[in-house]
Amino acid sequence: MKIKKHHLLTINKLLIEVAVAIGFTLIIWLIYVSVSVANNKVQIGSSYMTMNNEFYPLLNEQVANYVEERKGLLYSRDPALSVNKQVDEIHSFVNKQVNAIILNPVDGKSPKLNKAIATAHKEGTKIVIVDSPVKTKQVDCTILSDNYKAGQLCAKTLMRKKKEAKILLLTHPTALSAVDRINGFTDTIKKSHNHNYQIVGRISTFGQSEYSYPRVKKFIQNGNKFDTIMALNDRTAVGALAAIDTEHQTGKIKVYSVDGSKDMKKMLGVNKSAQATVAQFPIEMGNLAAKVAYKLIDGKKVPKKIILPVKTITTKNLNYYNTSGWQ
């Protein structure tokens, strides 16, 4: 029996249409499956004020390892000290329907940033704040080093070493953790009722050595008389130490700071200006942040605030700490 040519063309056309329909259905099914798989996984967004500070990549590494071990998804972002960028990142996390956000705020006092955090929380996203607090109460847990005590310890170490000092403060006013450290330092100085300790200046450095180096250098060149620096963190302190070296003031100006970074620990006992650093523990903070996020996602209760201890490091106890990395 012969099939007419126009019948063959009709059959071929039908076969092609069926194949296209099957293919299209298969694509839709694959997309649905992939989205379903992604939605079934725990998804976490993380954003830190800047990744140009080894503290935050190390902290985030602990989060990434924890999430990976549990077959989850982590979206890590770097706002590079921009509030607007961090706000956009939070909105992006919400659009991705992440289960939790681990956040270190660019500016804990920013109304715009606090509003974005509160909105995300109202949408059902769990919020874990790390290292520096925010003003909004719409968070599930805040994990901090004892920043005020860190400042106190720097002041106490200074007063044990020197009977008098003219002090330059290196600050970061928008980072509330840095504000707490400087307040802990200055309050302790004031409570000593010793007028031989004087604050002679403040320089805002954004917590970055690329800001502290030129600004401390200029402060020295302008003829300001000081012999001590209290730096909000080690990164700022390292920039200050470089400025001191450049201006041939090594040993004449003493530097105290907070972090316990490998760079600052290596300076102790080698650079005569480096006196002490109060250690934070980013590895512990990162692991804890991830554990807390998962507990929240599982509907478990966690403390509203967790404060991690800090420790003073000087040449006397340096051997107890890892000088090739963080603790």
Q: Which domains does the chain have, with CATH numbers?
A: 41-145+282-309 (3.40.50.2300), 147-280+314-320 (3.40.50.2300)
pLDDT (tens digit per residue) in 226-258: 999 999 999 999 999 999 999 999 999 999 999
51: closest CA among 42, 41, 64, 39? 64
Round to whole Å and give the CA distance between 64 and 293.
Answer: 12
Half-sphere exposure of 188 (CA within 13 A, CB side): 20
Round to whole Å and give the CA distance between 220 and 85.
Answer: 35
Question: What's the average model confidence in pLDDT over 30-36?
Answer: 46
Torsion of CA 312, 318, 321, 323, to 10 degrees: 120
Contacts of 185 (CB under 8 A, 6+ apart): 151, 152, 154, 155, 169, 230
Contacts of 120 (CB under 8 A, 6+ apart): 90, 93, 94, 101, 127
Q: Which stretches of the chain are DSSP H helices?
A: 5-40, 55-69, 83-95, 111-122, 147-161, 176-191, 209-221, 234-246, 262-267, 282-297
Round to whole Å and give the CA distance between 308 and 310.
Answer: 7
Whether residue 170 has pLDDT greater than 60: yes
pLDDT for residue 40 = 75
pLDDT (tens digit per residue) in 80-138: 999 999 999 999 999 999 999 999 999 999 999 999 999 999 999 999 999 999 999 99
pLDDT for residue 269 = 86
Round to whole Å and give the CA distance between 52 and 57.
Answer: 8
Q: Is the Cβ–Cβ distance between 261 and 277 less than 8 Å?
A: yes
Q: Is the Cβ–Cβ distance between 101 and 93 less than 8 Å?
A: yes
Q: Is the Cβ–Cβ distance between 275 and 222 less than 8 Å?
A: no
220: closest CA among 255, 272, 259? 255
Round to whole Å and give the CA distance between 127 and 140.
Answer: 5
Q: What percent of the chain has pLDDT over 70?
A: 88
Beta bridge partners of 197: 165
pLDDT (tens digit per residue) in 195-231: 999 999 999 999 999 999 999 999 999 999 999 999 9
Predicted TM-score (pTM) of this structure: 0.84
- Residue 42 to residues 36, 60, 118, 139, 249, Cα–Cα distance (Å): 12, 16, 21, 19, 53
Residue 308 in 3-state DSSP? strand
Whether residue 35 has pLDDT greater than 50: no
Round to whole Å and give the CA distance between 98 and 107.
Answer: 22
- Provide the 8-state DSSP code for 96: T
pLDDT band for position 324 (cuts 50, 70, 90): confident
